[in-house]
């Protein structure tokens, strides 16, 4: 018997709907929903252990996977099984995690899993836009201690009109692509890319998405009420000792305030704060430490946080001595690495990124193979964050989700400034060598300079800045170019990238409720001032892209070839193209234009000699002589009835020069007139209607000898008669063949 199903419908306002359903699948999970739009279906399940874990944080795992069967496809690889998550799946996990995590109680430490699966795919629906909705709806059906429902929505702008959860086709025409995560009252997360829009336009897009999110939250509430809202589970809350908290605050606050006001370096501050912490611990007896020593560290950290925040709010000063809108000292350098195609160092305060650029062909494009999307990236950026950049030693476990997310943000910031006619596949790699605040924005700046150093013709240089916020409800301070500690102690981490013309990408996480749009716009405007300051430092180092690539870097030349010539260029089994690459030292890639069906030939080589040789071969292949034109040729083969000549302008293009076209005089032997290797001019007459072969003539451009009399044409009437089928009757006088008796 099919169980009772509960369903709610969300109207997107343009004929599309999203439905949320529960009661049919995965009923042993603590909460489960199926979210559907069109033929796209996501199953989300949530489970949280009833026993608290022995850790001082929430062990939350958000997992998003796209099943290849959902799109009627097989996974790649030997085992034909979904393996580790793709970068696209990891990015969706991060988007959902960043909104859910702050809404669990700080003292809730039970192992919690949110699992979202794409079960059915629709080409017109981008499933990741509904992942946050699915996660929150499943949690609302559970007994988890969770503050309030949330949802996420993608917003685009097509022809000046905002669109919620646009299709991939609509996104191709959109100048905005942003994911917004919010509760009913507050925006909590923003991430996306834009085509150099203004701060006001960005705020308008966020407002539009927030209104759509409110409708999705209302649907979740209705579904939970219809299903039967569960009582929130009880769990062991964190131990509270107000007397101890006050004692530690009185011991540490003033000392922490004084250290924060000195404006010291990260190492000096860390050492000084650690000494204060040890002094606080030393003020307790052994018996007291045994009784509540496990609370001392947390209460000390709270006092330190309050001191640092109050310094900024009351005096406008920060941990390193800067004012709220002041940028740390910057120094830059390009062409640092001698063997790379492009390189740059960007150092801002105690954050440093070294970026490299590698130029390649379309064969080097980054292949994306997901059930919901297949494609290629001709520009991509990889971000590496090794432990030494923060002075730590920790295990290396492959590329982290953080590295994937920060690299994607920097890639989105820069990719809009790569012109459409850039012939190269461009790979940027950022190695973070020091980190104390926004290494992703340092990556954007270093990547910009490295590409200009490599000769990539960027439309405009891009810079980035991380903004922070400290607020106590009545007072607030927007911080430019935040430190790592300010990110940890503050209420907002807002990364903004852009050019002189507008914003290209952003990523924002807000830790407080009810951030007003007034504060948001002020933060964006202050960020613009900071971005332009940083951009000035970049352009002081390298103002415009280099005119050409480096001597050791490959030059790319692209040539279009009619489809009918591609086979000859490749040769049987690829023999011709392979020999060309070997002889010229180039890399040759041939793609087909899906519209014109022409061949697009990419030639990549260091130096012009090899490229010129390949271009000459293509010119030769495409060479078509014009009737009536004169061409220089060279004899390459001698025959009894003429000479085979090769066009000097198109090596490899041969034509027969018949013996009768060598000279006006009768020629008995070809060698009487020309020899191997001779170079001379001939006139092209097109295709001879009698022989149906191309005809060229040497004698046609020679002066006719004085007294020359052309031989009369042969009289065809004196030939022997031919039968009705065109054969002569030479065998008519033969006796008929005698038949043998059976």
Q: Which residues carry a binding-site annotation?
A: 487, 493
Residues making up the binding site for Mg(2+): 487, 493
CB 399 within 8 Å of CB 430? no
User: In Å, what is the CA distance from 352 to each residue of 329, 347, 349, 356, 454?
Assistant: 12, 4, 8, 13, 20
Give the pair of three-digit tokens for residue 256. Answer: 């922490």
Q: Are 112 and 48 in contact (CB under 8 A)?
A: yes
Place of tokens 């092209």: 684
Burial degree of 500 (CB within 10 A; 0-12, 13-18, 19+): middle
Buried b (16+ CB within 10 A) or exposed e, 444-467: bbbbbbbbbbbbbebeebbbbbbb
> Are 445 and 405 within 8 A, CB to CB?
no
Q: Burial level of 381, CB count in 10 A (0-12/13-18/19+)?
A: buried
Give every CB contact of residue 311 below 8 A, 6+ residues apart in sequence: 257, 260, 261, 317, 318
Strand order in the sheet with 110-120: 6-11, 17-22, 31-37, 40-52, 110-120, 60-66
> E strands of 221-360, at which residues?
330-334, 342-348, 351-360
Q: What DSSP line would sit under 636-653, residue for residue?
A: EEEETTEEEEEETTSTT-
Residue appearing with tokens 């996501």: 42
DSSP 409-464: HHHHHHHTTS-TT--SEEEEEEEEEE-SS-HHHHHHHHHHHHHHHHT---SS--EE
């Amino acid at each position: 018997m099919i169980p009772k199903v509960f369903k709610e419908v969300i109207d997107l306002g343009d004929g599309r709907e999203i439905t949320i359903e529960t009661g049919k699948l995965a009923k042993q999970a603590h909460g489960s929903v199926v979210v559907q739009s069109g033929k796209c279906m996501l199953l989300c399940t949530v489970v949280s252990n009833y026993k608290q874990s022995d850790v001082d944080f929430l062990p939350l795992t958000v997992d998003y996977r796209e099943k290849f069967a959902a799109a009627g496809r097989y996974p790649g690889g030997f085992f034909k099984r979904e393996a580790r998550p793709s970068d696209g799946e990891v990015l969706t996990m991060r988007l959902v995690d960043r909104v859910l995590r702050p809404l669990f109680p700080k003292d809730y430490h039970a192992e919690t899993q949110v699992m979202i699966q794409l079960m059915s795919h629709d080409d017109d629906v981008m499933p990741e836009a509904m992942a946050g909705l699915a996660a929150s709806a499943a949690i609302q059906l559970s007994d988890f201690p969770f503050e309030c429902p949330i949802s996420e929505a993608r917003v685009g702008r097509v022809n000046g009109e905002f669109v919620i959860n646009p299709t991939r086709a609509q996104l191709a025409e959109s100048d905005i692509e942003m994911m917004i995560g919010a509760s009913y009252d507050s925006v909590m997360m923003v991430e996306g890319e834009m085509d150099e829009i203004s701060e006001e336009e960005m705020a308008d897009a966020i407002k539009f998405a927030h209104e759509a999110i409110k409708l999705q939250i209302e649907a979740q509430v209705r579904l939970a009420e219809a299903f039967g809202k569960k009582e929130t589970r009880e769990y062991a809350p964190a131990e509270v000792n107000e007397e101890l908290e006050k004692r530690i605050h009185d011991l540490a606050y003033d000392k922490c305030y004084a250290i924060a006001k000195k404006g010291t370096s990260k190492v000096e501050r860390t050492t000084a704060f650690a000494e204060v912490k040890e002094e606080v611990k030393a003020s307790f007896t052994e018996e007291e430490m045994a009784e509540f020593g496990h609370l001392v560290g947390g209460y000390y950290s709270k006092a330190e946080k309050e001191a640092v925040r109050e310094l900024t709010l009351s005096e406008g000063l920060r941990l390193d001595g800067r004012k709220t809108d002041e940028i740390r000292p910057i120094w830059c350098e390009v062409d640092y690495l001698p063997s790379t195609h492009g390189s740059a160092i960007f150092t801002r305060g105690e954050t440093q990124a070294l970026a490299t650029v590698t130029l390649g062909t379309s064969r080097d494009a980054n292949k994306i193979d997901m059930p919901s999307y297949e494609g290629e990236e001709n520009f991509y950026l990889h971000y590496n964050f090794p432990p030494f950049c923060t002075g730590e030693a920790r295990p290396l476990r492959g590329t982290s989700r953080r590295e994937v997310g920060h690299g994607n943000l920097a890639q989105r910031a820069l990719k809009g400034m790569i012109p459409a006619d850039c012939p190269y596949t461009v790979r940027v790699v950022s190695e973070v060598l020091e980190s104390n605040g926004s290494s992703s924005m340092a990556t954007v700046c270093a990547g910009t300079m490295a590409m200009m150093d490599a000769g990539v013709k960027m439309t405009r240089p891009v810079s980035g800045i991380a903004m922070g916020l400290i607020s106590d409800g009545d007072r607030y301070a927007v911080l430019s170019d935040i430190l790592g500690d300010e990110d940890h102690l503050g209420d907002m981490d807002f990364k903004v990238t852009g050019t002189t013309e507008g914003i290209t990408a952003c990523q924002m996480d807000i830790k407080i409720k009810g951030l007003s749009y007034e504060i948001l716009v002020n933060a964006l405007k202050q960020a613009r001032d900071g971005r332009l300051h940083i951009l000035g430092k970049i352009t002081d180092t390298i103002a415009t892209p280099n005119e050409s690539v480096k001597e050791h870097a490959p030059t790319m030349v692209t040539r279009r070839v009619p489809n009918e010539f591609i086979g000859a260029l490749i040769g049987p089994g690829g023999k011709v193209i392979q020999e060309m690459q070997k002889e010229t030292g180039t890399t040759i890639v041939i793609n087909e234009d899906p519209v014109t069906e022409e061949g697009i030939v990419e030639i990549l080589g260091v130096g012009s000699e090899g490229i010129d040789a390949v271009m000459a071969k293509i010119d030769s292949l495409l060479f078509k002589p014009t009737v009536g034109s004169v061409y220089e040729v060279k004899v390459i083969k001698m025959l009894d009835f003429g000479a085979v000549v090769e066009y000097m302008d198109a090596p490899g293009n041969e034509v027969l020069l018949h013996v009768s076209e060598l000279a006006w005089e009768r020629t008995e032997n070809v060698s009487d007139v020309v020899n191997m290797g001779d170079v001379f001019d001939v006139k092209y007459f097109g295709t001879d209607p009698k022989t149906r072969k191309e005809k060229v003539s040497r004698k046609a451009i020679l002066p006719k000898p004085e007294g020359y009399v052309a031989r009369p044409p042969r009289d065809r009437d004196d030939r022997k008669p031919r039968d009705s089928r065109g054969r002569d009757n030479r065998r008519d006088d033969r006796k008929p063949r005698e038949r043998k008796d059976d």
